[in-house]
């Protein structure tokens, strides 16, 4: 899955919620491990090969810290099994998800909005925020499969805000 090209990420205020290790999205039956990724050889957000694992963009903020943490997961069906973020587009404003840290902390986020993007679009609003709050943005593919480029024609992003505990 080719990703939207992330801009340079500004250092963010850090609170120790631990490294994200698991995401739970009850509405779409997601309960998946999270792995850290950086940039690929083309300068885009890397993505792991497994269709069952969610990638956290480690150069950006951790979930729960000020700024926009970004998680990505595969879309579509492979060998009769749906990928981890195949049903991300079913999330609606007000739906809640949780991220668990390696230190046992559990953070909740509420969906604010979602939208589609061209994969070559300016991705600043996906990877950055300037409102001083903690956000978690989920990204996957959607649209038409392009065999030549081996990717989908669009990216789908769900924007969430941290719920205070």
**pLDDT digits 0-9 by tens, 42-62:** 888 888 889 999 999 999 999
Task: Please provide the CATH number assigned to the domain covering 20-163.
Answer: 2.40.260.10
Q: What is the DSSP-derived secondary structure letter of residue 126? A: H
Backbone conformation region of residue 124, classed left if phi is above 0, alpha if psi is from -120 to 50, else beta: alpha
Contacts of 162 (CB under 8 A, 6+ apart): 63, 64, 107, 108, 109, 133, 134, 135, 136
3-state secondary structure of 48: coil
Where exactly are the structural domains of the chain? 20-163
Which band of pLDDT confidence, cut at 50, 70 and 90, is reported for residue 13? Answer: very low
Is residue 35 within 8 A of residue 102, CB to CB? The reply is: no
pTM of the model: 0.87
Q: What is Dmax (Cα atoms) for the chain?
A: 46
């Amino acid at each position: 899955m080719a990703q939207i090209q992330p801009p340079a990420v500004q250092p963010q205020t850090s609170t120790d919620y631990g490294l994200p290790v698991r995401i739970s999205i009850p509405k779409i039956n997601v309960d998946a491990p999270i792995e850290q990724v950086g940039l690929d050889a083309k300068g885009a957000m890397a993505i792991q090969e497994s269709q069952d694992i969610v990638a956290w963009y480690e150069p950006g903020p951790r979930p729960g810290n000020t700024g926009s943490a970004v998680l990505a997961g595969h879309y579509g069906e492979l060998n009769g099994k749906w990928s981890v973020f195949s049903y991300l587009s079913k999330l609606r404003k007000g739906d809640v998800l949780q991220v668990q840290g390696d230190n046992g902390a559990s953070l909740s986020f509420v969906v604010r909005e979602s939208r589609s993007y061209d994969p070559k679009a300016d991705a600043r609003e996906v990877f950055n925020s300037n409102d001083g709050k903690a956000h978690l943005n989920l990204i996957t593919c959607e649209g038409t499969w392009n065999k030549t480029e081996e990717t989908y024609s669009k990216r789908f992003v769900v924007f969430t805000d941290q719920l205070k505990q």
